[in-house]
Amino acid sequence: MKSIKDFYNERVAKVRWFENCGKEISEPYFEGNIKIVDSWTKAQKGINGKWDNLKLEIRNNLTGTLHERWRNEYREWNTITLEAKAVLQKGVLNELKSYVSANNINYRVYESVEWDLLCVLMEYAYSDLVAPGFYFKMFDVYEAGHLPCGWKGKWPEGSVLIY
């Protein structure tokens, strides 16, 4: 398995969080299946239980695949998760918490980003076994300074909402 610390240092720690929210999106994230939201209010509204459940379902697909095909490696899941949480807590999550608080943004935004970062680190850790997918695409959006903030449509059809 790959070192999550490498991915964290090379990419996660360098993200300029939310700097392009509200600005034009030039990349075809999610193969162009995106819908733009134009305000923090709309972005926060999209981060809801439906969005959370979809992201959980997608993460569960990864754990299910690992459990079925690579049981020995899957047994390391909890250890890797604890390491990922520790790396994030010592690093960017403090910055994100401060940003959310200083800008009167709903705490659900912080929780959503925290989940996404944990999941992208897990996708990275197991990327030698299972090709990275949804969370890597989400991370590309974060790296571009935007916020993935919901889903429009029935999964897997539909579009990701981006601010």
Res 27: pLDDT: 87
163 has pLDDT over 90? yes
Question: What is the bridge-based pairing of β-strands 34-36 and 159-162?
Answer: parallel
| Percent of the chain with pLDDT strictly greater than 90 | 94
Chain centroid to CA 12: 11
Nearest CA-CA partner of 110 in 42, 38, 17: 17
Q: List, for residues 117-141, the tens digit of each pLDDT value.
A: 999 999 999 999 999 999 999 999 9
Q: Whole-prediction pTM value?
A: 0.96
Q: List, for residues 52-81, the tens digit of each pLDDT value.
A: 999 999 999 999 999 999 999 999 999 999
Output 29 or 8, whichever has higher pLDDT. Answer: 8
Query: What's the CA gap between 158 and 70, in Å, rounded?
Result: 31
CA dihedral 163, 7, 85, 51 (to 10 degrees): 30
41-48 average pLDDT score: 97
- Evaluate whether 82 touches 44 at the Cβ level (below 8 Å): no
Res 92: pLDDT: 97
Query: What's the CA gap between 7 and 19, in Å, rounded?
Result: 21
Q: List, for residues 89-107, the tens digit of each pLDDT value.
A: 999 999 999 999 999 999 9
- Evaluate whether 4 touches 127 at the Cβ level (below 8 Å): no
- Evaluate whether 117 touches 88 at the Cβ level (below 8 Å): yes
Query: Residue 84 — pLDDT band, cuts 50, 70, 90?
Result: very high
